């Protein structure tokens, strides 16, 4: 069986996006709903780019057997506060970040914040867990890969 990697393209812009290839899109949506947790809710048009691994029958699509896609995300590799005013400084920095990224058009999007698994507990900000909780942070299920 031959497998091709095919980009899933969308036409239009903003709220008016529609699949460039409806059949391929429908196969991708079906694959996601069967293979991914919450796959039925996944909006493929929100990705910067999506590629599908498709089993082919000559020139016809037979079945999607894989998917990958990417999005650009804000990543904060450093966020550190210390001293007796750490809680206040944390809130001020967080508020400034929120305002800045909203001004950049990222309102409602996720961002990542780096918490080193290599630090000793005494090296972390004293109230780092409370600060993450106050921001509504949740674990992000990510691994770092160098390109």
Mode of pairing for the β-strands spanning 111-113 and 10-11: unpaired
pLDDT of residue 50: 97
Q: What is the signed CA dihedral for 39, 44, 48, 53, rounded to 10 degrees?
A: 80
Spell out, as residue ranges, where the chain has pLDDT lower than 50.
Answer: none
What is the model's pTM? 0.78
- Provide the pLDDT for residue 141: 86
């Amino acid at each position: 069986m031959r497998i091709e990697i095919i980009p899933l393209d969308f036409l239009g812009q903003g709220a008016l996006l529609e699949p460039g290839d409806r059949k391929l899109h429908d196969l991708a949506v079906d694959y996601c709903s069967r293979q991914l947790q919450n796959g039925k809710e996944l909006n493929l048009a929100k990705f910067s780019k999506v590629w599908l691994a498709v089993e082919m029958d000559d020139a016809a699509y037979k079945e999607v057997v894989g998917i990958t896609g990417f999005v650009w995300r804000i990543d904060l590799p450093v966020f550190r506060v210390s001293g007796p005013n750490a809680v206040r400084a944390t809130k001020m920095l967080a508020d400034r970040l929120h305002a800045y990224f909203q001004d950049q058009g990222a309102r409602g999007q996720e961002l990542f914040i780096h918490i080193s698994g290599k630090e000793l507990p005494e090296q972390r900000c004293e109230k780092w867990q409370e600060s993450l909780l106050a921001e509504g942070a949740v674990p992000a299920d990510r691994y770092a890969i160098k390109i």
